[in-house]
Amino acid sequence: MDEKLYYGRGKDCDNKKLIAFLDEVFFTEDDEATKRDFVSILPKIYHDEYRPAYNNFVVQDENGEFRAAVGNFYVNLDVCGEEIKACCIGNVAVGLKYRSKGYMVDLMEMSVEDMMENGTDLAYLGGQRQRYGYFGFETSGVSYNFEFNKKTAKHIFGGRKSTLRAVKLQENDTEVFAKIDELYQKNVIKASRPMKDYYRIITSWRHTPYAVYDGDEFAGYFLMGYEYNWISECAVTKPEYYGELALAAYEVSGKESVRFNAPPFDKEKHSFFTVNSENISVGGCESLLVLNYEKVLRAYLKTKASYTSLADGELTVLIHGKKADEKLRIAVKNNEVTVEKFDGEAEIEFTHFEATRAFLSNFTFEREKLSGAAQQWFPLPAFIFSTDQM
């Protein structure tokens, strides 16, 4: 590291200067009519009150000008009742004049070191797989996508309009946000969503929130993506409303088709969409860095047991993790999950990346090394809602 440069956490007094730097790096080539900026894209973390500069590791010159920045945004996840301390990496930026000087590598290493010092269990980010693989991240998670299009609507509903009324929400609709959160809290995996920040959270990534009503009764909600062709999140108060919500969202979209994203654990949603979608696909969610395999495997395996029956079996594994070696015994009996430290000789040995792929990725040959029962347990349903990403 160059001694003339500052490496470390950003300073609160530089919030606006940092965001201007990030906007320049990412959005310089945007058309003026549709130009993006970080405050409008992620209002939940880039307003001054959330200390965006402090939550970045930065490189600055002697004049305080930024050369690079990597955001470290901590969030608590509730995974089947177990608290997972998570960290999301965001806004990885190097100034246009300062590329290929190693700044990104230095800051990413500082970021991961900070996670380890703070007892982080799991980190996640979106980005190029090979680029972030150097720091321990691997494409992971499970996400379902359901296409609902014009022909689908015609065949299922005969050309009629939805019986539910969709209403675009505004920042002062706090009573509706409480009803939305009541539905969100039913998810077996969820992030902390303070009510004071609720509108900023559900409008992250330029989503538009809608509530749907049966007459005057609140029936559910959906979050419409920026281009109005996908629904990143939705829920209803009664399962029988899903068809009407899908039709209402399709009508609001004004598109030929709209895609609904869903976590693997939402069986109510699946019961409608798997029968009534034109196309269904299974993909990944984010790139994950597991720093505590014992806790992460236990929480997400318990999650899977909450919505499907797991085969009885036992697996012992030695994982050469990014943070430390972990020797674990993983067992399922009568759909009860145990993941604990193990002192004997492990039957399987995995590198950090092999373990991440075997346990958390959709398609991987590493799982073929496991017994039939253990293969049925994986991949684990690691899922993060779009608006909970950074």
Do 248 and 305 lie in one domain? The reply is no
Residue 316 tokens read as: 């012992």
The verdict on 230 and 296 lying in the same domain is no
Measuring CA to CA, how many Å separate 244 from each of 28, 69, 108, 143, 155?
41, 45, 45, 23, 14
- Asked whether residue 384 is assigned to any structural domain, the reply reads no
Any domain includes 133 = no
How does the average pLDDT of the chain come out, rounded? 95
Smallest CA-to-CA distance from 355 within 343, 339, 335, 336 is with: 339
Confidence at residue 181, expressed as pLDDT on a 0 to 100 scale: 98
Q: Based on the fold, state whether residues 147 and 279 are members of the same structural domain.
A: yes
138: DSSP letter: E
Q: Is the domain of 187 the same as that of 276?
A: yes
Please report whether residue 46 resides in a domain.
yes
Residues 172, 238, single domain; the answer is: yes
Residue pair 286/140 in contact by the 8 Å Cβ criterion: yes
The whole-number average pLDDT for the span 106-134 is 95
Q: Indicate whether 370 belongs to any domain.
A: yes
Residues 21 and 147 in one domain: no
Contacting residues for 37 by C-beta, under 8 A, at least 6 apart: 19, 23, 27
SS3 167: strand
Task: Name the token pair of 138.
Answer: 């691997």
The total number of structural domains in the chain stands at 3
Percent of the chain with pLDDT over 90: 93
Among residues 254, 283, 312, the one where a domain terminates is 283
Whether pLDDT at 1 is above 70: no
- For residue 45, being part of any structural domain is answered with yes
Percentage of the chain surpassing pLDDT 70? 99
Whether 273 and 302 map to the same domain: the answer is no
Residue 373 has pLDDT above 60, yes or no: yes
Whether residue 221 is contained in a domain is answered as yes
Total-model pTM: 0.94
3-state secondary structure of 97: helix
Question: Would you state the structure tokens that stand for residue 350, as one six-digit string?
Answer: 């995995």
Last residue of a domain, one of 240, 257, 283: 283
Q: What is the C-alpha R_g of the chain?
A: 22
| Residue 97 domain flag | yes
111 and 171 share one domain: no
pLDDT in tens, 151-198: 999 999 999 999 999 999 999 999 999 999 999 999 999 999 999 999
Side-chain-side CA neighbours of residue 384 (13 Å): 27
The predicted pLDDT at position 33 comes to 78
Query: Which residue range(s) make up the domain with 325?
Result: 289-377
Instruction: Pick the last residue of a domain from 235, 253, 283.
Output: 283
Has residue 32 got a pLDDT over 90?
Answer: no
Q: Do 263 and 328 fall into the same domain?
A: no
pLDDT at res. 28: 87
116 and 212 in a single domain? The answer is: no
pLDDT tens digits, residue range 192-223? 999 999 999 999 999 999 999 999 999 999 99
Asked if residue 269 and residue 165 are part of one domain, the reply reads: yes
Residue 18, domain member (yes or no): yes
Q: Looking at the structure, do residues 152 and 238 belong to the same domain, yes or no?
A: yes
* CATH number of the domain enclosing 332: 3.30.1050
What mean pLDDT is predicted for residues 120-141? 93
Lowest mean pLDDT of 111-120, 124-133, 218-227, 245-254, name the range. 124-133
- 156 CB-near residues (< 8 Å, 6+ apart): 243, 247, 276
CA–CA separation, 57 vs 120, rounded Å?
Answer: 17
Angle, nearest 10°, between helix axes 242-253 and 267-276? 60
- Region 256-273: mean pLDDT is 95
- CATH classification at residue 228: 3.40.630.30
